[in-house]
Structure 1
Amino acid sequence: MSRDINTEAVALARHWLGTPYRHQGATRGAGCDCLGLIRGLWRSLYGSEPEPVPPYTRDWAERGSEERLWRAALRHMQPAQDPMPGQVILFRMRAGAVAKHLGLQSDSARFIHAYSGHGVVESALTPAWQRRIVARFAFPDPNDL
């Protein structure tokens, strides 16, 4: 029987709920940021991360126009159009800024993300969050790696 990677990703992400926010962290229970959450899910789904992540500052995205997260997602995931649970969502937090926040769609109206000051939480995908979505990505089928 083949794995349902989307259902598995959501179940794994729910185990991260309550993990404290830690800049550059990627360890369930100990601490993570939004990228660390996705990195941790990737390790659980595939065994190891697809590429090393260079150190980054909290304000890395304010210093230029390079869409680093978007490009990295395109290297390892498939762009997705129709919203569905298990997809990685990329957000642009301010108009004109680069996209710098990630989450995982958990159901039709919610997503799981690591948020500064809150840790890993499941939030409503409110209109305020929805208008910040710039891209969606599907985890690859493990047989395609």
Structure 2
Amino acid sequence: MTGPGDRIVALAENWIGTPYRHQGAVKGVGCDCIGLIRGVWRELYGQEPEVVQPYAPDWAERSGEDRLMQAGRRLFGPALPLAEARPGDLLLFRWRPDCAAKHAGILAGSTHFIHAYEKAAVIRSALVASWRRRIAAVHRFPETRID
């Protein structure tokens, strides 16, 4: 490993195969996309940055707020340009431009990312055009907290 991004990718790769479970955040037992990010954060920093309240599967549609984007800015800082994305960065996705962001993953290289895929498991996926055009934000994990 050569830097914080490599460590983050390695931690995320250890979650691959964890079954998809809505609101889960336990490696090997179950997680959703938010749970994957929570779990990697715990492994990096020892604890989660804030308590995550229970949420329904349609939380993004029902809330009327872009809560995932708000959490990204609050916990990771300002979004970065996609051109500056590097392995280990948090990717937030929205299905349509007029919808709230609803999915998250970790960039695992220029052509792949790791995410919890609904009705499946944590997987490594190709960052093909259909995923790339849905990226709503790129955030870097706070490096000052990474040993």
TM class by shorter chain equals: over 0.9
User: Normalization by structure 2: what TM-score?
Assistant: 0.92
Aligned length: 142
Q: Quote the offset at 1:95 in angstroms.
A: 3.5
User: Normalization by structure 1: what TM-score?
Assistant: 0.93
Name stretches of at least 5 consecutive residues in structure 1 with no aligned partner.
Answer: none
CA contact (8 A) 1:106 1:112 kept: yes
CA distance in 2, matches of 1:54, 1:104: 22
Question: Comparing both structures, which one devotes a greater share of its residues to strand?
Answer: 1
Identity across matched positions, percent = 51
Q: Quote the offset at 1:117 in angstroms.
A: 1.4
In the other structure, the counterpart of 1:124 is: 126
CA contact (8 A) 1:46 1:142 kept: no
In the other structure, the counterpart of 1:88 is: 90
**For the structure 1 residues 138 and 37, does the alpha-carbon distance in structure 2 shift closer, same or farther, using more than 3 Å as the test?**
same
Q: Secondary structure at the match of 1:86?
A: coil
RMSD of aligned residue pairs (Cα, Å)? 1.4
Letter of the aligned partner of 1:63 in structure 2? R
CA distance in 1, matches of 2:25, 2:144: 21
CA distance in 2, matches of 1:12, 1:99: 24
Name stretches of at least 5 consecutive residues in structure 2 with no aligned partner.
Answer: none
**For the structure 1 residues 17 and 143, does the alpha-carbon distance in structure 2 shift closer, same or farther, using more than 3 Å as the test?**
closer
